[in-house]
Amino acid sequence: MKFAIIVFSVAVIVSGCTTSMVTKETAVPSSPIERLRHELAARFDDPEFFNAFWGVKIQSLKTGEIIYEQNQNKSFMPASNLKLYTTSAALTKLSPSYRYITKLETDGRIKDGVLEGNLYLKGSGDPTICGRYNGGDVTLTFQNWADSLKARGIDEIKGDIIGDNSSFNGSSYGSGWAADYETDWYAAQIGGIVFNDNCVDMTVTAGDSVGAPAQVTWNPPTKYISIVNETVTTPPDSNPPGYYITFHRDWRSNDIHISGNFPINKPAWHESISVNNTALYAATVLKEVFEKEGIKIDGAAQDIQQAEVKPDYAKATTLATYSSPELWRIVKSTNKHSQNLYAEQIFRTLGEVFYGHGNMRTGRYVVYPLLSSWGIDTTRIQMHDGCGLSPDDMVSPASTVDVLTAMYHSRYFQPFYQSLPIAGVDGSLRYRMKGTKAENDVHAKTGTIEHVSSLSGYVTDADGDTLVVSMMVNHFTVPTSLAEKAEDGVCERLASFSMTGMDGSK
């Protein structure tokens, strides 16, 4: 019995050694694609991310071959990679030429230069009434409307200016958004009316002398907000940046507290701060602009919820309109600069156009069937907002590759492709992959929230083949820059890859 046990043990040892040798031999890459896979696996196995989860899928659009995949079907928080879903659906369902129409309407009559009745700013969800599309002049649209009214002979309005944002009827925030970033521009309120990205643009400069408060100005120069200036101008500071200014808007108010030390020798600090009640904000600034342009307003600025009388638009008169730039330009701003508010507006617009009211629920009624037609199992994804800020959003690298592949074969591929940041050139990739083969090659959407980084898009390899790539990492505790470095390294390797082995990979 002892002998049998000993023989068995030796057999196991020999067998184990043999298996190990075979595994070791077969692990040696013997072709360019195997070498590439070996390198990519090593990158994603970086010990810096031992407590994190990588999800990856890389596929050739020419042959359909899977170049590399890891956890490709698992659910990940995508951060701003979710914008790929929102913008691809909008281009497909609305078309790149879609335009928003915002109207000024009245239920009154014009007599002897006086509009006797209320003036309604009827929103359509348009996010473009801002300086970005008006040469930097944030109130240009309102000035043009004042000119339109004066051309009709109107120099006085005996009524209220009412902001009607009822085209959207959902929450003004995305599901799961945190209250602690409510002040910040990237979490601006969502609504049927958007003016200046629903923000005020703050500029802080040093005071006249040390010890004095810093000087604060804002654009538009509206009385809608109030400033609590708690800053102090301090002696010169030679160690950049050397100063930090904080902003905080009180919850459900427009009282903005500004604090911090401002060295007297430092340049201006610029920050965009979100406002509360965006319909009332737009109506207030519209009233201020009209008054500045010489139109007397006898009433007050209100939002539609405050108004005692609701308008009957079937009987109303349209006095002026604003037509937005085409949707492809809005999508370009959304993806290049990762503009959360635009993604939210676009998603809800889908619901408003096809179901009569804009909210996340009706938006999903439009987006999910489209994703299903692209082969995506929508029971395996979660879209709780349109931009990816919500920690409740979940998609997989595989489903993201499906979106990118569907758009590649779509008639709307060019406007979608041109909306993506370009490595080393523009948007959220302008400082990444510079001086590498990936520069001006990679067109991809970035995504970053706390403990989340993602990069998904297109890479052209050394053979001219377009590869579709989705990389997502969740739950890391190292600096985000390390995740971005890993993503960039993969893109750089793919850009230089050749199936023939002529890329220096031997």
How many other β-carbons are positioned within 10 Å of the β-carbon of residue 49?
19
- Architecture category of domain 101-323 in CATH: 3-Layer(bba) Sandwich (3.50)
pLDDT score at 310:
84
- Confirm whether 32-96+327-495 and 101-323 share one CATH topology: no
- Any residues with CB less than 8 A from the CB of 192 and at least 6 apart, and which? 123, 124, 125, 164, 165, 166, 167, 168, 279, 358
- What's the pLDDT at 240? 56
Q: What is the pLDDT of residue 363?
A: 98
pLDDT, position 4: 40
pLDDT for 28: 60
Strand order in the sheet with 246-249: 226-234, 255-263, 246-249
For residue 13, the surrounding DSSP H or E stretch is helix 2-27
Q: What is the dihedral of CA 326, 327, 330, 334, to 10 degrees?
A: -160
Phi, psi of 337 (to 5 degrees): -105, 5
Q: What is the pLDDT of residue 151?
A: 96
pLDDT of residue 466: 97
pLDDT of amino acid 19: 35
Pairing of strands 199-205, 269-274: antiparallel
**For the chain, what is the radius of gyration of the CA atoms?**
28
Q: Cα–chain-centroid distance for residue 413?
A: 19
Is residue 69 within 8 A of residue 491, CB to CB? The reply is no
As to burial, measured by CB atoms within 10 angstroms (0-12 exposed, 13-18 middle, 19+ buried), residue 9 is: exposed
DSSP H or E run through 328:
helix 327-336
Q: What is this structure's pTM?
A: 0.92
- Average pLDDT per block of 10 residues along the chain, 506 residues long: 38 36 51 95 96 98 97 98 98 98 96 96 97 95 97 96 95 91 95 98 96 97 97 81 86 95 93 98 98 97 88 94 98 98 98 97 98 98 98 98 98 98 98 98 97 98 97 98 98 95 53
pLDDT for 242: 63
For domain 32-96+327-495, give the CATH superfamily: DD-peptidase/beta-lactamase superfamily (3.40.710.10)
Domain ranges of the chain: 32-96+327-495, 101-323
How far is 311 from 164, CA to CA, in rounded Å? 10
